[in-house]
Structure 1
Amino acid sequence: MKNKSLFLGSLLLAMIASEVAEAKSSALENTSVTRFQQEEIQVEGQVFDTDGSPMLGVSVVVKGTHRGVITDEEGRFTLKADANAVLVFRFLGYQTQEIALNGRSSIRVQMKASTQELGEVTVTSTGIKRQIKDFAGTVNVISASQIKELAIPAVGDAVRFMPGVNYIDEDGRGLRPGIGLRGIEPNRNSNTLVVIDGKIPIGQSYSDMGGYYMMPVGAIESVEVIKGASPALYGSGSIGGVVNIITKKGAARPYTGINLQYGNHNALNIGVETVGNTNEGAMNYYAGFHRRQGDGFRKSRSRYNVNDLTANVTAKVGDKNEWRFFLNGFTEYSETPGGLSQAQWEQDPEQSVNPHDFFEARRFSTAISYKRSFDETNSLTTSVYGSYLKRDWWLDNRNATASKRKFIAALRDIPTVGLFSDYERTNTLFDKENKLLAGIRLHTDVTHEVSVAGDEMGKKAGKTTANSANTVAVVEGYVFDEFHITDKLNINPGVRYTFVNYDKEDYYKNSWDNRNEDAFVYSLGLFYKFSEQYRAYATYSKGYKMPQIRSAFETNGDLDAETSDNYEIGLRTRPTQWLEVELAAYILDFNHKIFRESGLLNNGGKALHRGIEVSGAIYPVEGLKLYGSGAIQKATIEYGMNKGNRVPYAPRYTATAGAKYQCGVGEGTLTTNVYGNFVSSQFSDLANTFEGSANGNVGLIPKFFLLNATASYSYKQWNFNLNALNLLNRKYFTTRHNAWGGIMPAATISVLGGVGYQF
């Protein structure tokens, strides 16, 4: 099997190289042919909003090409296009418009406000996009305007709005959210691939995706969850789907803004950002600094502070070259109050029993991307990225035997570097529209891990008890094609080959180990457009997650590769202007699955996840939006003594429903939201133990319902907002964890009031 996979992988990489070479040749031929077939004219135009005011920063692109400009302060633009070309106009919060020139050299465009926030989704690691409505797979998006209107304090609070998502806030402060998709275990994103701008992985390493960092919402343009064909598009760890965090790029109206929020438990959020463009959109930029701090909801040992600096610059050099630069720096210091026994939880969920524990982290990441458009149908995008994470966690081992009680530390340093290169070709195949994507990825990271045990609580000193370096080197290649059989039907085949070399050096035990892994995954999607109002899709994909082979207190030894066969069907419909619905059904058939019990990961066996997801919105009257999303799922163990039991951390039901109302008040706009989140009960172990154990490590995780409300008022350059989460002050928890000391309480009522101003 391995020889077969190596052969297929070599063949795949050869195909990619062949396609790029052919493209360069084809590009030269096509250029000479089209030069004589089409007449180019210079087009001038002006773009206005619904009130007739000029719009700055509107994207104007010649359809089917990479040629485009951005409107200036007067809403004007100039570009060259074929006399019969179609221009596409896009701007966040407005309907995308396509206007045929029909020989005209001057046009006037009025944009219309859109009820749908975003129309595109990122489908590759270098940022290539596709229209959501025409994508063969389930896609859910939370936009920047929604984040602003809801005054959402953390990314985890945003993903609650998406169907089939189980969100775990590790300690109730939004510092390390855990996201599980379609019944997959959510703890610290260890089984869900989370990336920034489609390329930079947030997880600490390729094999261990557990995250110790999350982008602040102030720097985020949108959050995308992509399912269906994600294994072929994104690779390891994307069986349930991919969470893609899109950062702000600065293509909108230039401004400098400051935002302040203050709430109970001395929570303080500060954001300062500047965004804009120069040379009529040839270069745009974003830079933002965000700080979160507070005392936390626990009565002691719950203080935290987080600092984040993010910068993005995009520069176009001529018509064919585009550069992008990304930089991020992050620091965190937080006290970690730990878990509670069953008795402690029942006595006082807000208490802390860890008087000494704390966590420190520093993370720096960067990416440089270059896009070359050979002609209007061929482009190559290459991104080089790197990051460095230093993560130190000091904690009391709480051993009941005095002589064995130690102040221990898990110290990690993880440098990462990688490269993506994506080739995109839009052409005709057998006289039918065809879009080809082909790419490669190179990646390596080194996890330096040191364990220390000290006798003095609260002191960063002690004796080394473990010292190792785990190195991962990855080579991947993929091909994904969108072939239009008819104007209504297209197919989307995809293949991906992954080869991984894993090297483990244990300096403490003076041992060394090396092994190779490879995988060949594939997908096939079908998309059919009945009409502009009704679209359907179906996908099959082979899923894969790389083995986790490091030594740590979170695993019981080495973990094998996780594999699955995934099936999905879906329907998107917008029968009227006041109703939109998306419905999806799925099956994840795991041949080998990793399970978590009491916080420890273990090798498992066969498991079956199946479910139905729905999301939609109703617009009954002007300004009012009723929205909701939910999932019914059943994830069961299909082997051994626990056959038929539910998979841990896979609730049967999840739902979110709410109402948004927006209206004019004075010279400003008032937006209010009331919504609720429901998650049904979950089990924390394979045996489906119902009664809670005395130490809190095992037992049922009860169902919970959270009521939330927000209000936002925008007046000229000012914005005032109020956010209240868990209004009913429910006492609940979302996880039991052996290493953290049992039950991890979730946040009590949180109220934040804020003000923002744009210069």
Structure 2
Amino acid sequence: MHKHVTRLLAAAIAAACHTSALAEPAAASVEHISIIGSQQQLDTTAGSVSLIDEAALEAYEFDDIARVLATVPGVNIRQEDGFGLRPNIGFRGVTPERSKKINIMEDGVLIGPAPYSAPAAYYFPMVSKMTAVEVTKGPSTIAYGPNTVAGALNLVTRQVPTEQIAEIDIAGGTDGYYKSHAYYGNAVDKHGFLVEGIAVGSDGFKTLDNGGDTGFEKIDLMAKYKYDLSTAKFDQYIQIKGGYSEETSHETYLGLTDDDFAQDPYRRYAASGRDKMDWEHNQLQLTHFIAGDRFDITTRLYRNNFDRAWNKIDGFESSLGGQIPTLQEILTSPDTDRNAPYYAVLTGQADSSVREKIVLGNNAREYYSQGLQIDATLDLRFAGLSHQVDLGARYHDDEIQRNHTATNYFMRDGALALTGEPTVPTSTNTEQTDAVSVYASDTITLADVLLTAGIRGEFIDGEYQNRAPGREQDFQNKSTRIWLPAVSVFYQVTPKHAVFAGFHQGFVPTSPIQSASIAVEQSDNFEAGWRFIQSDQRVELIGFYNDYSNLIESCSISAGCDTDTTFQAGDVDVYGLEAAYQRQWNLTGGWRIPLNITYTHTQSEFQQTFYSEFAQWGFVEQGASVPYLAENMFSVNIGLVGEKVDVNLLASYSDSMPESAQQTLTGDVRDSTLAGKETDALFNIDLSAGYQLTPAARLYGKITNLLDNEDIVSRRPYGARPNLSRQMQVGVKYAF
């Protein structure tokens, strides 16, 4: 199978081995888990790359990746639960829904539950333990895949140390917030290890009408063992990484009417009292790394398991039959004769009759993701030119098993009570994907010019099986074969000024459950930029243009669909500008002022008029904007840092975003209920401060949402939901 892939992989390994015969003694071994590399590589990349290092992460002690990424241009985010438990992240205008169109990686390996079969990222690694966050956009994206339209997000865990390290971090705050984080690592001779654990939780910032928990608890445990095999000629090691994490969160998809939001944005209706997510995740990864003077090869064998039970209100059911309004319809127009009785039941003001039984769905799912990944870099000279050749191949296998059920409840005295009816299965199916991917690129150095040409191949075989009794014939196989080119040029005009430009083809596959008649998403992506770098400041301006020949959206329950369904929009244009400015002023007495300003402008246009059953689109007129894309976003991050004291302030702003591409209601029953509605514009200020009590101990505090702004971040899937309320935490770190 895929003989051409095997041949390419064999050629890459053979070339690396041939080069190694000429290698000189190598430098000290390092853990190969970053995808960006050195600062010099970052500065000479023909494209947009951003690195948030450990010092920047510790400045604010954020637990939410959305707040971390607020300082990165070109990142569009739709907030949801306030804590960032299940983030919605997009780059350069791609749909942020469940981060399904970007490549999410941990230590260079795909970390989503099933990145090919079910890419919606209901699991996200714990940001609090990361030592770096890397964002890659532009032509370099083809090295990662399968999604090449937007880019890659790589989360870097702590590496195995070369000497003893240990730290304890304890924090507490408002709404019952707590954090306990500790790690210990050491190296003896050729053996190194690291153990790390973290627990984070909160009682929640919302209040249920009938009382109850609205918070969450998360734990994460990780261990690494590393054995150094280095010799005089080669750096080499093998490493085993294991991890376990779990979460219990009393979160809901049920929001509020706009009027109720205005009265109390942090209210939760009684009908959401039993909503809860429980999940467990475990991982195992074996890594082998070898490097010589002119090559390095990283081989990773990985396995991730993710099991979840997501119990939440899905809507109403009636024993009397007839048409029942959706939750979105009820919350958009709660005062109509049709909707008022259902609204009264949702809020616990009235008891249910047999006409207003509340349906709670338990979306129980089991995922796995596993594979073998090899990445190689060769530094070669031929034809009198310097070449950096990057090669990679990956065999990946993932699966999702859905075992969804529904249970009916009555509202009784402001609380949910079982109707006594049996729990029934709703979705019982399996999607499984085998995928082989390869990439190759060559960067040629011509004096002050770097020319890069690359290509990625994705060879995907998917299988869908309905496992419900009597539905065994509901089965489908589908295959995708595609090659994705990329080219870029970087020109160092002067020692301080550089310009660059690039093109790459974007691709997003469809899942096995979707009909083979639905085409994959494809786009032609262009960018051009200017970079200015000197010792104390850095400026970057990048323009981008994504020309979609076929924009697709897979709609899940989080976006308002009853089942996972894919829709097509055809030609769509997304274009914009990314700007970043960094500066540091060094003052007397060891004080310094770091400044980081980012700005993103994004425009989007559907290129035809059409109707879609996808609620976020509806009746779309040519020129309409894509939903949930803010036109303007900016952030200002400024600090005052001394030998013992540091104070940091992060201000971020995002324009309001349309909830639907449809602009007005026309009276047609197929209209989008949220046509013409927008989220609130978001302005947020976070403040943090730290004091070095002793060389080993640091006291810190932070205030999130300093102004206590109360904004609607989304009305999907069911009603208005708020941003995080003002939160205050204090903590202490002690390093041994």
1:726 corresponding residue in structure 2 = 705
Whether 1:369 and 2:369 are equivalent positions in the alignment is no
TM-score scaled to structure 2, two decimals?
0.83
Q: Kindly indicate whether the alpha-carbon contact (under 8 Å) linking 1:249 and 1:314 is maintained by their aligned counterparts in 2.
A: no
* RMSD of Structure 2 on Structure 1 (CA): 2.8
Report the 3-state secondary structure (helix = DSSP H, G, I; strand = E; otherwise coil) of the residue aligned with 1:606: strand
Please, which of 431, 434, 439 is the counterpart of residue 473 of structure 1?
434
Change (3 A) 1:120 1:399: closer
Partner of 1:487: 447
Name 2:332's counterpart in structure 1: none
Counterpart in the other structure of 1:110: none
Give the corresponding residue for 2:541: 583
Q: Which runs of 5+ in 2 are unaligned?
A: 319-353, 410-415, 611-620
Shift of 1:324: 2.1
Preserved contact between residue 534 and residue 573 of structure 1 (Cα < 8 Å): yes
Name the CA distance, whole Å, in 1 between partners of 2:684 and 2:708.
Answer: 8
User: Is 2:356 the counterpart of 1:393?
Assistant: no
Does the 8 A contact of 1:249 with 1:313 survive in 2?
A: no
- Give matches, 1:426-575, under 5 Å: 426-456=379-409, 462-484=423-445, 486-508=446-468, 509-510=471-472, 511-550=474-513, 560-575=519-534
Q: Deviations over 1:167-223 (max 9, x none)?
A: 233211221121111111112212221110111323443243211222223321100
1:358–1:487 distance in 2 versus 1, CA, 3 Å: same
Aligned to 2:56: 146
The alignment partner of 1:531 has SS state of coil
- Picking from 352, 357, 375, the partner of 2:268 is 352
Cα pair 1:548 1:559 within 8 Å, conserved: no
Distance 1:579 1:542 in 2: 33
1:532-581 CA distances to partner (integer Å, 9 max, x unpaired)?
32222211100101113448xxxx99964111111111222124x33211
Q: Contact conserved, 1:688 with 1:700, CA < 8 A, in 2? A: no
**Aligned partner letter, 1:725:** T
Q: What is the alpha-carbon distance in structure 1 between the residues aligned to residue 541 and residue 672 of structure 2?
A: 42
Matching of residue 268 in structure 1 with residue 221 in structure 2:
no
| Distance of 1:410 and 1:214 partners within structure 2 | 18
Asked if the contact 1:231–1:544 (Cα under 8 Å) also holds between the matched residues in 2, the reply is no
Aligned equivalents of 2:120, 2:567: Cα separation in 1: 15
* 1:610-689 equivalent positions in 2, closer than 5 A: 610-622=575-587, 623-641=592-610, 642-664=621-643, 669-688=644-663
Match runs of 1:306-321 below 5 Å: 306-319=218-231, 320=234, 321=236
User: Aligned residues, how many?
Assistant: 653
Letter in structure 1 aligned against 2:364 = L
For residues 460-487 of structure 1, give each alpha carbon's deviation from its aligned partner in whole angstroms, at most 9, with x where no partner exists: 9822232111111101111111111x23
| Structure 1 residue identity aligned to 2:459 | F
Preserved CA contact (<8 Å) 1:314 1:322? yes
The change in CA–CA distance for 1:322 and 1:487 in structure 2 (over 3 A counts) is farther
Contact 1:359 1:394 in 2 (8 A): yes
What does 1:122-201 correspond to in 2, within 5 Å? 122=35, 131-201=41-111
Offset at residue 633 of structure 1 (A): 1.3
How far the C-alpha of 1:636 sits from its partner, in A, is 1.6
Contact in 2 for aligned 1:735/1:743 (Cα 8 Å): yes
- State the distance in 1 between where 2:277 and 2:724 align: 19
Counterpart CA distance in 1 for 2:281 and 2:295 is 36
The residue number in structure 2 matching 1:756 is 733
Q: Does 1:340 align with 2:256?
A: yes
Distance in 1 (alpha carbons) for counterparts of 2:492 and 2:3: 36
Mapped to 1, the partners of 2:285 and 2:691 lie a distance apart of 36
CA 1:588–1:400 in 2, change beyond 3 Å: closer, same or farther? same
Q: Which amino acid aligns with 1:661?
A: L
Give, in whole Å, the separation in 2 of the partners of 1:423 and 1:515. 31
CA contact (8 A) 2:117 2:398 kept: no
- Do structure 1's residue 420 and structure 2's residue 420 form an aligned pair? no
Please list the CA deviations of residues 583-622 of structure 1 after superposition, one character each: whole Å capped at 9, or x if unmatched.
1111111111124785446322111111111111222343
Taking structure 1 as reference, are residues 758 and 449 closer, same or farther at Cα in structure 2, changes over 3 Å only?
Answer: same
Q: What runs of 5+ residues in structure 1 fail to find an aligned partner? A: 1-5, 32-64, 71-89, 92-118
Tell me whether 466-475 or 164-173 shows the greater mean CA deviation: 164-173
In structure 2, do the counterparts of structure 1 residues 756 and 27 end up closer, same or farther at CA, with 3 Å as the change threshold? closer
Taking structure 1 as reference, are residues 710 and 27 closer, same or farther at Cα in structure 2, changes over 3 Å only?
closer
Whether contact under 8 Å (1:260, 1:755) holds in the other structure is yes
C-alpha distance in structure 1 between counterparts of 2:10 and 2:4, whole Å: 10
Q: Deviation at 1:19?
A: 4.2
Q: Structure 1 residues 122 and 22 mapped into 2: Cα distance closer, same or farther (>3 Å)?
A: closer
* Residues 432/647 of structure 1: CA separation in 2 closer, same or farther (3 Å cut): same
Q: Tell me the SS of whatever aligns to 1:153.
A: coil
Query: Which residue number in structure 1 is paired with residue 297 of structure 2?
Result: 380
CA distance in 2, matches of 1:344, 1:653: 28
Aligned match of 2:568 in 603, 618, 628? 603
Taking structure 1 as reference, are residues 493 and 467 closer, same or farther at Cα in structure 2, changes over 3 Å only? Answer: same
Superposition pairs for residues 206-221 of structure 1, below 5 Å? 206-221=116-131
Contact 1:193–1:203 (8 Å) recurs in 2 = no
Contact between 2:463 and 2:512, CA under 8 Å: does it hold in 1? no
What SS does structure 2 have at the residue aligned with 1:398?
A: strand
Shifted more, 746-755 versus 588-597: the winner is 588-597
Alignment TM-score, normalising by the size of structure 1:
0.81
The 3 A distance-change label for structure 1 pair 161 and 689 is: farther
Question: Is the alpha carbon distance of 1:704 and 1:535 closer, same or farther for their aligned partners in structure 2, counting shifts above 3 Å?
Answer: same
Instruction: Kindly state the Cα deviation for residue 688 of structure 1 after the two structures are TM-superposed.
Output: 3.7
**Change in CA separation of 1:235 and 1:694 when aligned onto 2, cut-off 3 Å:** closer
Query: Once the two structures are superposed, what CA deviation does each residue of 1:667-702 show, in whole Å capped at 9, x if it has no partner?
Result: xx11111121100011111214599x9977972112
Residues 689 and 701 of structure 2 are in contact (CA less than 8 Å); yes or no, is this contact kept in structure 1?
Answer: yes
Rounded to whole Å, the distance in 1 between the matches of 2:25 and 2:49 is 24
Q: State how 1:216-365 maps to structure 2 within 5 Å.
A: 216-251=126-161, 254-279=164-189, 282-300=190-208, 301-319=213-231, 320=234, 321-337=236-252, 338-353=254-269, 354-365=272-283
Cα deviation, 1:33-67, whole Å, max 9, x if unaligned, reads xxxxxxxxxxxxxxxxxxxxxxxxxxxxxxxx671
Contact (CA 8 Å) 2:33, 2:108: kept in 1 or not? no
Q: Aligned partners of 1:217, 1:253: CA distance in 2, in Å?
A: 25
Q: Distance in 2 between matches of 1:137 and 1:251?
A: 32
Change (3 A) 1:735 1:558: farther
Cα distance in 2 between the residues matched to 1:473 and 1:205: 11
Instruction: Give the conservation status (yes or no) of the 8 Å contact 2:665–2:675.
Output: no
Identity across the alignment (%)? 19
* 3-state SS of paired residue (1:471): strand
For residue 344 of structure 1, report the CA deviation from its aligned partner: 2.6
Q: Structure 1 residues 458, 306: closer, same or farther in 2, change over 3 A? A: farther
Cα–Cα, structure 1 residues 120 and 418, in superposed 2: closer, same or farther, change >3 Å?
Answer: closer
User: CA offset at residue 516 of structure 1?
Assistant: 0.8
The 1-side partners of 2:440 and 2:109 are apart by: 17
Inter-CA distance 198–754: structure 2 relative to 1 (3 Å threshold):
same
**What one-letter code is carried by the residue in structure 1 that aligns with 2:35?**
T
Give the 3-state SS of the residue equivalent to 1:632 in structure 2. strand
